[in-house]
Copies of this chain bind each other. A is one copy, B any other.
Amino acid sequence: MTKSSATKKEDVLREFRVREILDATCRVVARNGFQGATVERVAEEAEIAKGTVYLYFQNKDELFTAAVEQGIQNFTGQVRTQVTEALTPIEKLQRLIEVSLELSDTYRDFFKTLLLERNFLAASPNHPEAAHMLDLYLAHIHFIEEIIQDGVRVGVFRPHNVEASAFVLNEAIRGCFQQRALGLTARPVSEDASILLDLFFNGVLNQHQNHEEPVS
C-alpha cells in the first residue's frame, strides 16, 4: 500500500517533468521553428541539462512527436467537450468555430508552428508515428462531419457532400489560425467566428438575384 502510493507519487512527478519538457519544446519551436529547435535549447528553456531530456524521451524525434501529439490531443479534446454540450447542429457548429478560435489564443505557441509548419503530417522519413498524427487529424474532421450530417438529417442543412464541407470548414478555421499567427488580422475572435459561420451557412451568392441580371 505504502509502496503503491510511493510508486504513484513518482509517476506523478515523472508526468509533471514530461509536461514541463513538452511545454518548453512548444515554446522553443514557436520561437525558432522545427528547424532551429535543438535539444539543447529545449533543455535550456526547461531549465534542465540536456542529458535530463534523455531520461524522459528516447531521442529528439520522440520528443517532438510527443509535443505535437500532446498539442493536438489537448486541442481536439477540449473542442469535443465543449461542442458536445450544445444541442442542435447549428449551435454545435457555432460552438466549434468559437471554441476553436478561442483555443488558438490559449495554445498560441503550439499553433504557431503546428499550423505553419505542418510537415509532421507529410512523409516523415522513417516514422510510422506520422500515420498516427494523420489519424488524429482525420478523427477531428470526422467529428465535424457527423455534426453536419446530423444537420442534414434533421433538415437544417441541405443535402450535399458532407465529407467535403466538413473538410472545408476545418480548413477555413485553420486559415484563421494562420492569419492570427502571422499577425495579419486584428479582428477579435468572436468577429472572425461569426463571419466564418455566416459564410459557411449562407455562401456568397445573392439569393434574390440568383439567376437574374444585376440591377443597372
Measured CB to CB, the residues of A under 8 A from B are: 31-36, 112-113, 116-119, 121-125, 134, 138, 148, 151, 154-158, 160-161, 164-165, 167-168, 170-172, 174-175, 179, 181-182, 184, 192, 195-196, 198-207, 209-212, 214-215
Contacts and interface: CB of A to CB of B under 8 A. Distances in A.
B204 A160 contact: yes
Contacts of A122: 33, 112-113, 116-117, 181-182
A65 B50 CA distance: 32
Copy number in the complex reads 2
B35 A199 contact: no
A153 B214 CA distance: 9
B35 A165 contact: no
B175 A167 contact: yes
A176 to B, nearest CB: 8
Contact of A155 (B35, B134, B203, B206): B206
Contacts of A151: 204
A204 to B, nearest CB: 5
15 contacts: A35-B119, A36-B125, A119-B119, A122-B182, A151-B204, A156-B205, A157-B205, A160-B214, A164-B195, A167-B175, A167-B179, A168-B172, A174-B175, A199-B203, A205-B215
A36 B124 CA distance: 9
Contacts of A161: 195
A35 B60 CA distance: 14
A209 B155 contact: yes
Nearest to A156: B206
A196 B138 CA distance: 19
A157 B202 CA distance: 11
Contact of A35 (B35, B181, B211): B35
